[in-house]
Amino acid sequence: MAEILLFHHAQGLTRGVRAFADVIRAAGHIVHTPDLFDGRIFDSIEAGLAYIGEIGFDAMGERGVRIADDLPCELVYAGFSFGVLPAQKLAQTRPGARGALLFYSCLPISGEWAFGPWPEGVAVQIHGMDNDPIFAGEGDIDAAREIVAKVEDAELFLYPGDQHYFADSSLPSYDADATALLITRVLAFLGRR
């Protein structure tokens, strides 16, 4: 059994994010799903990003980091898109991390946006669609490939399609087949933690 801290995407803690967490819980894992937006749900990625911009990306990311203070250190950190920011930061900087699950987004491990090198012994899975204009078009896929090239236990899974939030069953971008495969891979990953 693994214990996971799962951060939602820019549209908020949607029914689809909650449903995803419930699937992982049903497999016997503990999943924490903090609401970084205090109950707000947005109709679009743009509206959610505007809200994050009002608060500040760094301040919003730090909300997620602070949530971990009340949890054990031996966690798998997971995030959907914007939620990758606190998840990846915690996986790379908080001692005791068991792994990282990065969905639809990935930050580089070198350069100005990096949290530093990937820590030894922390496994990572990265999932995204091969034609997602955000993941594939804005450099996240390159960051993911850098991690896979430099980290011993790192996997990048690309799914055919062009949707960003493809594993959120409450949104029109949902892809049931890709999500089923993603969940199979995630559960195998968690089974090794």
pLDDT of residue 122 exceeding 90, the answer is yes
Q: What is the pTM of this model?
A: 0.96
- Total tally of structural domains belonging to the chain: 1
Rounded Cα distance, 152 and 32, in Å: 27
pLDDT at 57: 83
Q: Say which CATH number the domain at 106 has.
A: 3.40.50.1820
Structure tokens given for 66: 């602070």
pLDDT of residue 178 exceeding 90, the answer is yes
Average model confidence (pLDDT) for the chain?
Answer: 95
Q: Provide the domain limits for residue 186.
A: 3-191
